[in-house]
Structure 1
Amino acid sequence: MSDAQNKVQVTIEGRKLSLSNLDKPLYPHFTKGEVIDYYTRIAPVLLPHLRDRVATRLRFPEGVDGLRFFEKNAPRGTPEWVRTETVQTPGGRNESVEFVVIDDLATLVWCANLAALELHVPQWRIGRRTDLMVFDLDPGEPATFSACCEVGLLLRDVLAEDGLDAYPKNSGKKGLHLYVPVKDRQVDDTSAYAKRAAERLAKEHPKYVVSRMDKSLRGGKVFVDWSQNNPAKTTVAPYSLRAAPEPRVSTPLTWEEVEKGEPLPFTAEDVLVRVAEMGDLLAPLVQG
C-alpha cells in the first residue's frame, strides 16, 4: 500500500488532520485506529484533566514492544493550530521547553496519531498556582495492589484530618494514585506537605509502608511516592492509556472499590462502558 493510500484525511472541529497507518498494531491486539477511536470517545472526560497543563507524551512509534521515548518539546511539523507554551523547566538547568498543551479534541487525535499512548501532566496549570496534590502508591514485591489499597485508605484518613479530600485511581499498572484538589492557601507547599504525610505513615506503619526512595527498602512494602508534587514531575493523566500487553487505562475508582482491594485492570473498552454508567469520578478535581 502506498503512503497516499495509507493515509486518511479527516476534519475535527474545523482542523484538518492526516491520519496514517490506522491498521498498525500498537498493542498486540489493538491498532492505532483503535487507539485514536478510544481517545476520541473518552475525550469529554479526559480533556478537562489535560486542559492548561503542559503535556509530556510517551510515544511508541513501533508499538508497546518497540522503541519508546518521552517527548516534551513540540515536534518538528507541529501544526500551527496546536497550542504550545514555552515554559521554563522547574528545577532544571534554567532551560525552557516549548510544550504541547492538549486543550481540544483535534490536538488529542493529533497526539494519538503520533503514537503518543501515554499522556503525563504536572499538578499545576499554566499561569496558576498548584491546584492538585498527588500520591503514587507503588508496591514492592511481593506486596500487591491490595496492599496499596490498604495504605491508600490510611492515607485518606490522614488527609481528612486536615480537611483534605482524596480521590483514587489506579495507575493502569500495579499501583494506586490518590489525588487531592488544593484550593488557595489550603496547603502552602504541596511537596513538603506530601512528604510529611508519607513520612508519618511510614513511621506509624513501618512494617508495610516506606517513604524513602531507596529501592532496597521497598521489598514487601508500599512506597508512598510524594515526589510527584515537585513542579518538574508529571503523573500519568486520568483516562490515559498505559503501555502493557493490552490497552489498560489509568482509571478513576470509587472508595468502595479501593476498600475491596481487588486488582482492577480496566481496558479501554471497559473504561468507555464505565464512564457511560458512572461519569467522571474525578470531576471534583476540575470543578471551580
Structure 2
Amino acid sequence: MTPITEVEGRRLALSNLEKVLYPATGFTKGELLHYYATTADVLLPHLRDRPLSFLRYPDGPDGQLFFAKNVPPGTPDWVVTAEVPRAEGPARMVLVQDLASLVWAANLVTEFHTPQWVIEAPGEADRLVFDLDPGAPATVVECCEVALWLRERLAADGIAAYAKTSGSKGLHLLAAVRPASSERVTEYAKGLAVEAEKAMPGLVVHRMTRSLRPGKVFVDWSQNAARKTTAAPYTVRARAEPTVSAPVTWEEVAGCRSAGQLVFLAPDMAPRLREYGDLLEPLLDAGGAGALP
C-alpha cells in the first residue's frame, strides 16, 4: 500500500519508502525523503524561481539514470511549472517553490540541477559558477588549491565566491553577480579559467579535452551557459553513497589535505547545519552581488 501523507495541506502518495537506494550504506528512499524534508529550509531558497532539471535514479545509482527537463507525467496541478525558451522551441519545466513540491520531487528520486538564472529573466545570469573537476590522480585536494586562487582573483574584481563540494570528486565555486547575459558571464568565467591555467600550468586545464586532464584540475566555466545546469546546493547525488553537494567553509578548503575530508553524506548534514547554518546564504542577498568588470 502506498502511504498518503499531507505536506502543507497537499496530499502526497509516497512510494517504496523501505527500498534501499544506496546498497553501500543501506540508505533507503524513506531516509532520502526525510533528508529533503529536514533540509528544506536551506535548500528551497536555492531552488526558488529556477526551472529545474531532474537527474532521476529511481532504482538507485546502479540503476538507470535519466535527465528529465520537461514536466514529468503525473505532476500534480499544484506544482508550479513555467514555460522556458529553448533553441528547439519552448518547454514547460518544474519550479520547486515550497516544501510540498520538494517532497513530491524527492519521491521521484532525483538530483536537483539549476540554471544560473531565474524564470523572470531567462538567460540573464545572477550566478557565476566554476565546476572544478580533478583528473586522477588529482583529487579534491588540488581542486581546493585552485579554488583558493580563483577566490582571490574574483575578489580582486569585487566578486565574493563561496564553495561547496560537488558531491562527486570535485568542488563548485559560486558567486552572486549583478544580472548580466549568460554569454557575458560565460566569457568572463572562461577568461579567469585561462588565467588560472597560465598561473598554474602544472595544475590547471581550461579545456575539456580528456587527454589534457590526468593529474590536473579542469576548471569548467561552461556551466554558465544559459542552457546548462549545475547540481544544486544540498542535493543528494546518484553516487555509490548518498553524498551531498555540501557547502564548505574557506577554512575547510584551505585545510584540505585528503580527499575524504570533504566528503559529506546525507546524515552528516543536520549537525553541519546546526553548526554553520546555510554557508551559501550570502548568495541570496542581491545587495551583495558583484558587478562583472
Match of 1:270 in 2: 268
Deviations 1:157-195 (A, max 9, x none): 111111111000010111011001102469982111000
In the TM superposition, 1:167-178 aligns within 5 A as: 167-178=162-173
Structure 1 residue 219 displacement after superposition? 1.2
Structure 1 residue 287 displacement after superposition? 2.0
Q: Distance in 1 between matches of 2:90 and 2:180?
A: 28
Q: Which runs of 5+ in 1 are unaligned?
A: none
> Counterpart of 2:60 in 1: which secondary structure?
coil
Match of 2:101 in 1: 107
Change (3 A) 1:164 1:188: farther
Match of 1:122 in 2: 115
Match of 1:284 in 2: 282
Change (3 A) 1:136 1:185: closer
Are 1:16 and 2:11 matched, yes or no?
yes
> Counterpart of 1:130 in 2: which secondary structure?
strand
Change (3 A) 1:142 1:24: same
Structure 1 vs Structure 2: percent identity of aligned residues?
53
Structure 1 residue 277 displacement after superposition? 1.6
Contact 1:147/1:261 (<8 A) preserved:
no
Give the TM-score normalised by the residue count of structure 1: 0.94
In the TM superposition, 1:243-254 aligns within 5 A as: 243-254=238-249
Letter paired with 2:190: K
Q: Distance in 2 between matches of 1:184 and 1:250?
A: 25
> Counterpart of 1:61 in 2: which secondary structure?
coil
Match of 1:241 in 2: 236
> Counterpart of 1:77 in 2: which secondary structure?
coil
Letter paired with 1:58: L
Contact 1:141/1:220 (<8 A) preserved:
yes
Match of 2:64 in 1: 67
Q: Which runs of 5+ in 2 are unaligned?
A: 287-293
Structure 1 residue 101 displacement after superposition? 0.5
Contact 1:187/1:193 (<8 A) preserved:
no
In the TM superposition, 1:117-156 aligns within 5 A as: 118-128=111-121, 129-156=124-151
Match of 1:203 in 2: 198
Change (3 A) 1:106 1:256: same
> Counterpart of 2:248 in 1: which secondary structure?
coil
Aligned length: 279
Q: Distance in 1 between matches of 2:96 and 2:114?
A: 10
> Counterpart of 2:247 in 1: which secondary structure?
coil
